[in-house]
Structure 1
Amino acid sequence: MTDQPLLAQAGDPFGGDLYRDITQVAGDTPSWFQHLVELGTEGGILILLALFVAAWWRARRGSDRAMALALLAPVATGVAYMASEVLKVMFREERPCRAVSNALPLAECPEPGDWSFPSNHSVIAAGAAFTLFLIWRVGFRIALPVAVLTALSRIFLGVHYLHDVIAGFAWGAIVAPVVLLLVAGPGTLAVAWLRSLPVMRPLVVHNLARRR
C-alpha cells in the first residue's frame, strides 16, 4: 500500500469552489489594495513582534512572573509554530494555488512540498495575540485585529484554503497560551535568579534602585 497524503489530493471537494470565488474577488480589487495586503501579510507579523518587545520593556517594571511571561511568550508562540510544522508533514495538503484549477492567486505559489494545512502565518499571529492576552491586555487589543487581518490575508493572496487559516488560528490561539502557562512557574524562578545578577539586571529590571 502506498503512503498517500491525508489531504494532498483533496482538491475541489475540500474548498476549491470557495477558493476560486475568493481569488476572483481578490483579483478584482484595486492594485494598490493588493500590494497593501501583500505587505501586510508579513508586516502584521512584524507588528506582533514589536508588541512582544513592548511587552518585555513594560514587564521590566513588573513582578518576576510578569517578566517571565513576557520573555517566554515568543518562545511559546515558536513552539506552537514548530508543532504546526509537524501537522503539515502529517497532512501534506497541497497548496490550493497548485491543486485548484482555473484559479488566479495574487501571490506566487510556494514551492512543492511546502504544505498548506495549517497556515503557519495564522498559527504565529494567533499565538502572539493570545499570549499577549495573558500578559498585557492593551497589547492584546492591538494584536487581535492585526492577527485576524494577517490570517485573512493568506486567503486573499491565494496561498491557503479557508480551513487552513481557521485551523492554524485555532491551533495558535490554544497551544501557545497553554505552553506559556506550563512554563510560567520555572520561568518565574529563572527571572528571579536573573534579577539577582548585576550583569542581567538592566534587561529585566526598569529601576535598579528599587530592586536594591
Structure 2
Amino acid sequence: MTQPLAFSGASVDGSLYTWVTDLASRTPHLVNNVVSLWSDLGLGLFAVLMLVAWWRARGEGGVRMARVLASPVIVVLAYGVNSVLKSLIDEQRPCQTLHTVTVEACPALGDWSFPSNHAVIAAAAAVALMLADRRIGLIAVPAAVLMAASRVWIGAHYPHDVAVGLAVGAVLALLLSQVATRATPLVDRLSTSRLRPLVSTQ
C-alpha cells in the first residue's frame, strides 16, 4: 500500500534538505549558534511586536484595535489547527529518516514534522500583525520567513514542512482577522468602560 506523499517527505525535497544541512555543517559555529538561538527563541519577537502594535493602536479606532487584540488568539488557534494536522499526517522528522549531521539534536521519534509549528505560528503572527499595523508587519513578515528557514537550517524540518506551515498560518490569519473585525463594536464599548486604558489613550 502506497503511503500519502506527506508520509515520505524525503521523496519530496530530501535532497534539498541534505544540501542545506551539509552547508550548515560546513558553516562556522558562530553563525550556526546565532541561527540556532533565533530558531529556539525567535518566536518571542512576535510577542514583543504584538505589544508594540497594541501600544500604537491605542486611540486609533476599533477595527485596528480589534485586530491587534485578536492577534494572539489567532496564533493560538493556528497552533491548535496545525497540531491536529500534524497528528493526522505523522511525518517523521527528516533527521530521523535521513540521519544527516544537524546543527541541533534531532527531536525524538513521534515528534512529527509536517507542517512546522514554528512556521505556522510565525506566519499567523506576521499576517495578523500586517493586517493590524503595516509598519509592524513589515518587520514581522521577513522575521517569519527567517524563522521558517532556520528550522530547515538546524535540521528540524524539510523545506516543504516550513513552506506549508507558512501557508497554513497565513491563510488562517487572513480568515480569522476578518472575523476579528466583527468585534469592533465590543472594542468601541470598551473605550467607554473602566477598561478604556486598554484600548484608548483618551
CA contact (8 A) 2:64 2:133 kept: no
CA contact (8 A) 1:70 1:135 kept: yes
Other-structure match for 2:191: 195
Count of aligned pairs: 202
TM superposition outliers: structure 1 runs of 4+ over 4 Å: 4-9
Q: Offset of 1:136 from its aligned partner?
A: 0.7
Q: Output the CA distance in 2 between the equivalents of 1:36 and 1:180.
A: 33
Match of 2:170 among 162, 170, 173: 173
Query: Which region of structure 1 is more displaced relative to structure 2, 114-123 or 16-25?
Result: 16-25
CA contact (8 A) 1:5 1:92 kept: no
Q: Structure 1: which amino acid aligns with 2:165?
A: G
Q: Output the CA distance in 2 between the equivalents of 1:84 and 1:66.
A: 26
Q: Offset of 1:49 from its aligned partner?
A: 1.2
Partner SS for 1:107: coil
Q: Offset of 1:43 from its aligned partner?
A: 3.4
Q: Offset of 1:175 from its aligned partner?
A: 0.9
Q: Aligned ranges for residues 1-212 of structure 1 at < 5 Å?
A: 6=4, 9-10=7-8, 12-101=10-99, 103-185=100-182, 187-198=183-194, 200-207=195-202
Q: Structure 2: which amino acid aligns with 1:91?
A: I
Q: CA RMSD in A?
A: 1.8
Which structure's CA Rg is the greater one? Answer: 1
Identity %: 41
Q: Output the CA distance in 1 between the equivalents of 2:198 and 2:3.
A: 47
Q: Output the CA distance in 1 between the equivalents of 2:190 and 2:90.
A: 42
CA contact (8 A) 2:85 2:115 kept: yes
CA contact (8 A) 1:7 1:91 kept: no
Point out where structure 2 has 5 or more consecutive residues left out of the alignment.
none
Q: Output the CA distance in 1 between the equivalents of 2:4 and 2:189.
A: 47
CA contact (8 A) 2:191 2:200 kept: yes
Q: Structure 1: which amino acid aligns with 2:96?
A: R
Other-structure match for 1:210: none
Q: Offset of 1:74 from its aligned partner?
A: 1.5
Relative to the length of structure 1, the TM-score reads: 0.89
CA contact (8 A) 1:107 1:157 kept: yes
Relative to the length of structure 2, the TM-score reads: 0.93
* Deviation string, structure 1 residues 114-166 (Cα, Å, up to 9, x no partner): 11000111111111111111111111111111111111000000000000010
Q: Offset of 1:13 from its aligned partner?
A: 1.7
Point out where structure 1 has 5 or more consecutive residues left out of the alignment.
208-212
